[in-house]
Amino acid sequence: MSELKFEICIDSVVGASIAQQAGAHRVELCQALSVGGTTPSAAMIQHVRANCQLGLHVLLRPRGGDFCFNDEEWDIMARDVELAGEWGADGVVIGGLRDNGTVDVTRCARLIDLARPMAVTFHRAFDLCSDAHLALEELIDLGVDYVLTSGQAATAHEGRDLLRQLVDVATGRLTVLAGAGINEQNVGELVRHSGVQELHFSARSTCHVVKAVRQVNMGSDANADLVRDETDPGRVQAIMHAARSVA
């Protein structure tokens, strides 16, 4: 079995530093992890690139919610692809679906063409596809480098059977990047059962709790203004160690 690789999902400059110190192979930079991630700011991309020597993949998703984007949203993602390349990203993380749950092949092809020579990951929109095997073949035909997936389950551990099938089919043609709910307790079995060689996780813990002088909610989550999650260096190391122990 070849060496496992680890991609840390981050939404801060602190997360980039922690991932680098832990010995991860790359980071996926995004914002708004509470909705599955959206495109980070220009300054964030540039700052992380200037201060992080790891591979830098940037999520390009103009909003939360579904993955059926309109023409303006596809245009925004196209421009974001160009800018990510100008700012030194090593890869972009993209994706989009048609209303029937199939990959929007034509529009994704446009983004992929713009992205080269950067690497391209198709994100977890894959987990909403109506036919995982068809979607995988379409992504291979498009020349996508990675597909980030939980095996169409709530967590990668729960989706390990489908992940095993995808790895077997995709080997040598595309890298299956397992992600969602990966932790210290389940990563060993996930790696052993699925055969994945690359793992994507955030390894976050609550790091700051504020006692507000006055409670005024800034969003729909009443607790979001009082707590903040951040990449946890201890958890990153623990997950990597647990994964390597069975590899």
Per-residue pLDDT tens digits for 64-98:
999 999 999 999 999 999 999 999 999 999 999 99
Q: What is the pLDDT of residues 171-210, one digit of tens each?
A: 999 999 999 999 999 999 999 999 999 999 999 998 766 6
pLDDT at 161: 98
Q: What is the distance, to the nearest Å, from the Cα of residue 228 to the centroid of all Cα atoms in its chain? A: 20
Three-state SS sequence of 90-149: CEEEECCECCCCCECHHHHHHHHHHHCCCEEEECHHHHHCCCHHHHHHHHHHHCCCEEEE
pLDDT grade for 221, boundaries at 50, 70 and 90: low
Q: What is the pLDDT of residues 129-186, one digit of tens each?
A: 999 999 999 999 999 999 999 999 999 999 999 999 999 999 999 999 999 999 999 9
pLDDT at 209: 63
What's the CA angle centered on 64, arms 57 and 126, to 5 degrees? Answer: 60
Q: List the domain boundaries for the chain.
A: 5-244
Contacts with 114 (C-beta within 8 Å, 6 or more apart), sequence order: 78, 81, 82, 85
Q: What is the pTM of this model?
A: 0.93
**DSSP-based three-state secondary structure for 50:** helix
| Mean pLDDT for all residues in the chain | 94
Q: What is the pLDDT of residues 20-41, one digit of tens each?
A: 999 999 999 999 998 999 999 9
pLDDT at 211: 63
C-alpha dihedral (230, 203, 151, 29), degrees to nearest 10: 50
Share of the chain above pLDDT 90, in %: 87
What class, spelled out in words, does domain 5-244 have in CATH?
alpha beta
